[in-house]
Chains A and B, each alone.
Chain A
Amino acid sequence: MIKVEGLYHSYNRDGDYAVKNASFEVPKGEVFGFLGPSGAGKSTTQGILTGLLRLQEGKVNVAGYDVKELKRSMFNKIGMSFEQSNVYSALTARENLRFYSKLFDVPTEDPDTLLKLVGLFDVADKKAGEFSKGMKHRLTFARSMMNNPELWFLDEPTTGLDPAIAATIKEIVREKNKQGVTIFLTTHNMYIADELCNRVAFIVDGEIKLIDSPRNLKLQYGQNLVDVEYGDGGSLKKETFSTVDERDIKKLQELIGRKHIATMHTKEATLEEIFIKVTGRELV
């Protein structure tokens, strides 16, 4: 669904690249996470893929379209949910969606269905300018589904949302993916990436450092540890054991036999820890 080869982009065309030699493929039906700190080149890459930025160097094919010779019909196939909500303040939520639906050449969703999906149906006739930040974000998110996209770009889809709404958004993303929608998720939130993505790419300073599934990354870079809390002479003690180190395994077995175990948890490395380990950078 997306194929990128040798992508470079310099805003001032001066050799100072925001994206350097990026290459990756996203097959149909995958949720692909594009992860990195602010200024890493995530938005630049996404901007090129969605035609918001002009392709300078490299080959980019999106939904069967060569981005070098962008055709507007490509946007009938893709949806884009922006990080910064961008809806018409003077129009109501329903008017916003109705207006946008008229711009497509393909059958579109009913605005009310989308508003119900994101929990805004009750305020469908309220001006978007009177919405809270979270409500505007949901309206922007709803609008991106208007044309039932085959390829869906999501830029920080849960940023600024309360946990309940964020959970709804994640559920919608999962459901759409089940229906076969390919998703390109740009975020610096590793938990969301971990929950939703089939594969993730780590990008830092414009370069893609690695691409793999969260599970493989955890197996490759995570440590297999167990946190144990046990009773010892009236007090509660806590120790961490490796599940691969022979000495730790022996000590853990002895502990289980001799002491009263209060809690025991396996401890996997988080994507965030792996990111720091691989790139040497924090996800700020």
Chain B
Amino acid sequence: MKKMLTIFGRDVRVNMKNFMAVFIILFPIVMAIGINLFTPGINDTTVNLALLSKDTEMAAYYEDFAKVETFATQGEVENRVAQRDNVVGILPEENGNYYILTQGNEPKEAVVEYAQVLKALYELDAQVADSNAVLHNFGKTVPPLKNTLVNAMILMISILGGMLISLNIVEEKMDNTVSAINVAPISRTAWVFGKSLMGLLLPLVGSFALVLITGFTYINFLQLAAVVVASALISIIVGFVQGLNADDMMTAVAGIKMMMLPMIGSVIGAELVSQKWQWCFYWSPFYWMYKANGIVLSGAGEWPKLLLDTGLVLVITALIFAYQAPRIRKGLEKV
């Protein structure tokens, strides 16, 4: 175990000195920030209102339905509304009534009319308790685009783990250092496991960081870990195969990038292809990973369905390993 960690520690040290590897390691965080910037966040679906601080009762009412900011003067409210984001001002007229102030480019139904309805409800003194509606939902709390992007990114991160393994093996081949490892008291198994750790830890840490930054804090993280580990195994195998067979970094990276095709195809297939043609994607482990990730991100916690999808990923991975094992063995003997 100690020697396995020594091999892993060396890889981390070398990766930290390589721009491409650093980018791969930071990619999940960069993508998480990107997703937050370009898709509406879970907590950002509410309307923002700007009020005068003296309207305390009104502010207290609106805070149950919108994000409220208060300002000392009317001018400050006007300045806030004039900023880039969608903030609606509610200000008093001379006759005591209140008017709604907007920039004019806000979404009509989602922002302006919502603010109008809120104002009307306040004036009517309507309370949530007054409603006799019973709530039913499908359990979807996240915008579908965000869900899809985060799910696809988790798949992408597992591929990047394989890419790092591949880069690290190619680096050893270029320096011819495996021969030195072969005359050191460390077993081949420990070396292989040490090299694999990066392919396991990057997807785990990266996926956890991704879901936390993008606001999926309610999910079952054990479920996420189970799916990510199963997904990482296939990337580790491909990472080894590519690393052992490529002679330079760019060839290794290009080989791993080929995995993106079935990954993207599976995501598109699962999202856009009609149910009766879904079977066309059953061969792809990414299809099942995507399905399993979907269950995790929904927060629904359906273990049986999740284990079935993850199990299918493992079965396909085992088949791929059985097919690639001779290449890996041969490659390991050559280095």
Q: Chain A interface (Cβ within 8 Å of chain B)?
A: 50-52, 72-76, 78, 80, 82, 84, 86-91, 95, 99-100, 102-105, 140, 143
Contact = CB atoms under 8 A, between A and B. Distances in A.
B183 A86 contact: no
Contacts of B187: 72
Contacts of A95: 13
Interface of A is mostly: loop
B185 A90 contact: no
A82 B185 contact: no
9 contacts: A51-B183, A52-B179, A72-B186, A75-B185, A86-B175, A87-B177, A90-B171, A99-B6, A103-B3
A50 B185 CA distance: 12
Interface in B165-179: 171, 174-177, 179
Contacts of B18: 90
Place the interface of chain B in its size category. 20 to 34
B183 A89 contact: no
Nearest to A90: B14
Given A89-B175, A91-B14, A100 B183 contact: no
Nearest to A71: B185
A82 B180 contact: yes
B276 interface: no
Contacts of A90: 14, 17-18, 171
A192 to B, nearest CB: 22
Given A95-B13, A103-B6, A88 B175 contact: yes
A142 to B, nearest CB: 12
Contacts of A87: 175, 177, 180
B182 interface: yes
Which of A51, A80, A87, A103 gathers the greatest number of chain B CB atoms within 10 Å? A103
A52 B180 contact: no
A143 B180 contact: yes
Nearest to A128: B175
Contact of B10 (A51, A52, A84, A99): A99
Nearest to B172: A88
A263 B177 CA distance: 52
Contact of B185 (A72, A84, A89, A91): A72
